A and B are shown apart, each in its own frame.
Chain A
Amino acid sequence: MNIEEFIENFASQLDETAPEEITAETRFKELDEWSSLTALSIIAMVDDEYDVIIKGNDILKSDTIQDLFAVVEKKRR
């Protein structure tokens, strides 16, 4: 898995934020549209694309998309 593709998959779950605004350094929980429902669609996307189940705590502890990418990468090993 690579970070570019992960960012693209992440951005595709958002309705109100333009994909080009999303980078590895984006602090996703600070996005205007971020809600518990967005979190659920990210969990579903990670399951679909990477066959990994991330937990609520993984999201709570991650600030940037890079952080979350690292969690998914670790769980895939």
Chain B
Amino acid sequence: MSQLTINHVRLAGMSACVPSTVEDNRTLPIYKDENDALKVIASTGIERHHKVDDQTTASDLTVKAVEALLEKMGWTAQEVDCFAYVCTSRDYIAPQTACILQDRLQLRSDCCVFDLPFGCSGWVYGMSIVASLMSHGTFKRAILVAAETNTRNRNPRDPSVRPLFGDAATATALEYAPDSARPMNFMFGVDGSGFDAVWAPYGGIRNPVTTEALEEKEVSPGTYRRGVDMIVNGMDVFGFAIKQPPRSLKELIETFNIDVESVDLLLLHQANKFIDEKIRKAVKIPAEKTPYCLEEYGNVTSASIPLTMVTRCGEQLSAAGERHCLACGFGVGLAWASMEFYAGGMTMVDVLDY
């Protein structure tokens, strides 16, 4: 089993920025009537999501989130030693978006910056990578971004995705803390045979963009897609999501001898309520310890866990002392990861509108 323990790194602060335009699932033109819409809302728990316009990128939302976080933390951009950008909706095919953000955010030219093109598991993977680098002790301050503009790479006339996915950017500040006694613990998992459960077939090197890949086709009655649009095979994702995340969390709990009774927060990737509730019940954590923000923001892929923390756990995470947290991210890859950490006394910025 690939397990990882990281010492001497603490979560110092968080922020999030969402587009101000809200799309309500009750009034989407993809349903034949409101009753149809209410059925989907009842089973997914997702009522609405925030949506960028066609000029705005995940990096635009990111700049606002990071600047507000640095300001409230009292950090300057020049003090950031490492900057990681978890996102699949990159600005350009090349270069990495993190390079552009170095300039936009005025990070140091010797700052260690990189993109991490993870999907829904991305915040947990990102934490493992950035915290690992910091644990060596020379990077004192880091920013981990998890951001996505899902509405821009999915077809608005695809009813299997439009009501579910939204856009958001989040920033997490990490700090080297040599006196911190609490480790972060991780477990990882991947099943590449499920690569086509959530994927965009065209636009990479295997299937480059062609004129045909840009043509919108009715792939099944009422569902339209282009070759470059993201496909979510709901049934396969669902089958995966009710099996692997509970297994991963149970492995984490067993490997690191976690007393489930002592857990204060279970932070799940906000896939949909039906899936997340099955995961929660499988690990026997009470509902009041499992916050959700999907009703308001939908599935925002890698930004889901940090957006939940910013919008639903601000008081708990900023209060003194420490909260015992478990997190699990799962999805595109198929990839998943679970994490145990402690957090408290954090600088939490209220969610910002773009």
Contact = CB atoms under 8 A, between A and B. Distances in A.
Interface of A: 35-37, 39-40, 43-44, 47, 53-57, 59
Nearest to A36: B234
B235 A55 contact: yes
B243 interface: yes
A66 B242 CA distance: 24
A40 B233 contact: no
Given A36-B160, A40-B43, A55 B242 contact: no
Contacts of B240: 53
Given A36-B235, A53-B243, A56-B235, 18 more contacts: A35-B39, A37-B39, A37-B43, A40-B235, A40-B238, A43-B239, A44-B274, A44-B278, A47-B243, A53-B239, A53-B240, A53-B242, A55-B235, A56-B233, A56-B234, A56-B236, A56-B239, A59-B235
A44 B243 CA distance: 10
Nearest to B42: A37
Given A47-B242, A47-B243, A53-B243, A40 B236 contact: no
Interface string B200-241: 000000000000000000000000000000000111101110
Given A36-B234, A40-B234, A56-B233, A47 B239 contact: yes
Contact of A43 (B40, B43, B160, B235): B235
Nearest to B237: A56
A44 B233 contact: no
Given A54-B239, A55-B235, A56-B233, A40 B160 contact: no
Secondary structure class of chain A's binding surface, majority of residues: helix
Of A40, A55, A59, most buried by chain B (CB within 10 Å of CB) is: A40
Contacts of A59: 235
A39 B274 CA distance: 13
Contacts of A56: 233-236, 239
A40 B243 contact: no
A43 B238 contact: yes
A37 B274 CA distance: 11
9 contacts: A35-B39, A36-B160, A39-B235, A40-B234, A40-B274, A47-B242, A53-B239, A56-B235, A56-B239
